Amino acid sequence: MKKIHVLDRFQAAKFVPPENCGLVRIFSSDRLENLTYPPINFDNYASVCQYTFDDITPADLRAMTKDGEDISGFVLFSEVLARKIIADFRTAMLDLTVLVVHCKNGKNRSPSLAAGLNHVFNLRIPDEAYIDAGYHEPNMHVYETLVATARRDGMRFKAKWLGE
C-alpha cells in the first residue's frame, strides 16, 4: 500500500479511484442518524468493505446512561468488529496500492480506522500523509480497540500515533 485517503461521504462519492484501489465505508447506526450517503460506483474499486458503528466511546455511553438517555440501538466499536475488519483487510485489501476510508464527515472514525490499519499492518505510510491535525478529531476508542485487539491476537507491530 502506498497511499491512504481519509474522506467524508461526499468526497468519497466524487473520488475517482486509481487502479488497485480499495474502499472502506463506515456508516452510522439508524439510532444515531438516518441520513443518506451519496451513491458510489463500486465497479472501479478492487475491493469494498462496509461497516456500521457510531462515533461514540464507552465514556459517551456512560454519560448518556447517567443522564437517563436510552442508549439502545447505538453501535459501539468492539473487539468483534475489530477482528472482522482486520480479517477483511488481510484477505481483501492488503495487496492494494491505494485505500480510501470514509465515514459521514471523514473527521473521527475514518482517520482512526485508517491509522489503526496503517499501524497494525505495518504499512509505513506517514500519518501526516492522511491525517490533517487541524481538521481530524480521531475517535481514539476506535484506534485503541483495533490496536489492542490485533496485539491480543498475536500481531506484532509498533504503533506510534497520537502519543502511543
How far apart are the C-alpha atoms of 46 and 128, rounded to whole Å?
Answer: 25
Rg (CA), the chain: 15
Helix axes 140-152, 79-92, angle to 10 degrees: 70
- Residue 63 grid cell: 454519560
H or E element in which residue 47 lies: strand 47-52
CA distances from 99 to 19, 117, 154 (A): 11, 10, 24
What integer pLDDT is reported at residue 91 of this predicted model?
A: 95
* pLDDT averaged per 10 residues, the chain (length 164): 95 96 93 76 96 95 90 93 98 95 95 95 90 87 96 85 51
- The yes or no reply on domain 3-152 and CATH 3.90.190 is yes
In the chain, what are the helix, strand and coil shares in percent, each to the nearest 5?
Answer: 35, 15, 50
Question: Which pLDDT does position 161 carry in this prediction?
Answer: 59
Quick one: pLDDT at residue 51?
97
- Domain borders along the chain are 3-152
pTM: 0.92
